Amino acid sequence: MDFVTTVFLTIFLTAVAVLALFNILYVGGVERTRKQTGMHPPTYIHGILRVNIVVALFVVGLIAVFMAVL
């Protein structure tokens, strides 16, 4: 694996990991707001957040595999 690919993959891996963490924390934030306001968020918000977390974790794994293979 050349230097440029390594740098880009490292940046992408960090960014996707941060996004995964953000989405996990955001689920908690939405739940806390629901408790404080008594208002449920739209159901699709939870759906998109779950998709985001799954995709982010998948991409973290994918980049890790790329880094290992290359």
The residues binding another protein (CB under 8 A) are 4-5, 8-9, 12-13, 15-16, 19, 22-23, 25-26, 28-30, 32-33, 36-42, 45, 48-49, 51-52, 55-56, 59, 62-63, 66, 70
- The least distance separating another protein from the CB of residue 38, rounded to whole angstroms, comes to 3
- The least distance separating another protein from the CB of residue 39, rounded to whole angstroms, comes to 5
- The least distance separating another protein from the CB of residue 14, rounded to whole angstroms, comes to 10
Q: Do residues 59 and 16 make contact, with C-beta atoms less than 8 angstroms apart? A: yes
Cα–Cα distance measured from residue 12 to residue 18, given in angstroms and rounded to the nearest whole number: 10
Q: Which two tokens stand for residue 34?
A: 């629901």
Cα–Cα distance measured from residue 24 to residue 45, given in angstroms and rounded to the nearest whole number: 13
